Structure 1
């Protein structure tokens, strides 16, 4: 990957940057000219993302954060700006997805999913928007899921929080537009990531996905990252409040 030789575009904070999709987004935005705040749980995956950014010469800062901790999210936003420059893009991507039948989900499990997938999105967006609004420009992208549109067995906690991300996107776009802050969403389809480990038969699930998509192949992480790149970039200057399904034509609405 070759970095864009154009002028720097400020900093972008990507949550869940140790996962496959978050890593692809971080690398693409880095190539676009952003300095990258690499936020996620402490561990090898986060360090691997940092290593790939290093290899591409992309300025970055590793931020090991538990997204259940609101104060830590605010501190990460501050550190991103202090070390990398004005925050011009936020990608809320991190999520957890315990696979549990609805009638067996405990309150503790449900509330844990909400803290990571919903409350953290809200707090990160709020902290980012305060900074962006002061400067009159910025872009927030919330990563949703096509499971919100179609429902999904054994993932009620996850699906409900992904629906919340769509609602949050619309509400913030309406409220923040006058301040120059755009808010959009991206709903990935079934990309071949670690998340598929919740399915007992990988080959059977792979065929299930392809049968339902209009495009008869699996998507790539880079293809999802390209849509995020568009939404935070200048070509989407008149786009806000939208959630784009990137799913090979599975869900059409």
Structure 2
């Protein structure tokens, strides 16, 4: 079930968020945290959602320390009932949702021939079904209001294919398909749906690579820009996609990868 961590809600900022409430799943991770801080700075009241963890608490603390209005919801995306409860809680605590970022993901690195069905289904529950349900529950509330923005976080791995990550890659492809379908269906209600496809950003996901220096060189050999991207740079693109400057943009997937994939 969704639960609240009252100590993580900030108290120093105004309770009149001019841009409404933003919900970010997987907010304990590096990309989710950077996005939470950016959207809070943009004027959103930010709900950080994730499984109970020190990382999620740290994100909430950073928001509070910066004087932003935030709310923490502990929620397992494997549990459909908890997703509906979480969205209800966010609107009850922060007001109407105007932005939703589907960011949470798991990525067990297993060779395709060795992936057990249970592992594959677990990845689908979090990365695919979780995105679907968070978007659906949020859209149920956005549609009557005639406005809202949803951003699904895909991955560069969908565009190029990645060994030992078949479950993850397939779900990231599904997030692009979901983005296009929802953009088409919800556009008449004033809701925009886009996706971002991050390249190799410095996150905990890099722990699956045995040699970090070798991996960094492998990344730079493929990027047009010969430096690693910062998590704040992805957050800035998400900020654009939920903001007024992208008001006529929907159904698109933006590759934020330093010029790795060009399509």
Q: Deviation per CA, 1:96-125: give whole Å up to 9, x if none.
A: 000000000000000000000000000000
**What's the TM-score, normalizing by structure 2?**
0.94
**Residues 1:52 and 2:58 aligned together:** no
Which residue of the other structure, out of 150, 158, 163, is the alignment partner of 1:148? 158
Partner of 1:162: 172
**Residues 1:251 and 2:251 aligned together:** no
Residue correspondence of structure 1 range 166-205 to structure 2 within 5 A? 166-205=176-215
- 8 A contact 2:27–2:36 mirrored in 1: yes
CA distance in 1 between counterparts of 2:169 and 2:17 reads 39
**Residues 1:126 and 2:139 aligned together:** no
Partner of 1:13: 23
The DSSP-based 3-state class of the residue aligned with 1:63 is: strand
RMSD over equivalenced CA pairs, Å: 1.2
Unaligned runs of 5+ in 2: 1-12
Partner of 2:240: 230
Counting matched residue pairs gives 250
Q: Deviation per CA, 1:114-139: give whole Å up to 9, x if none.
A: 00000000000001111111100000
The DSSP-based 3-state class of the residue aligned with 2:99 is: strand
Partner of 1:240: 250
Unaligned runs of 5+ in 1: none
CA distance in 1 between counterparts of 2:206 and 2:155 reads 14
**Residues 1:78 and 2:100 aligned together:** no
**Residues 1:38 and 2:48 aligned together:** yes
CA distance in 2 between counterparts of 1:86 and 1:194 reads 32
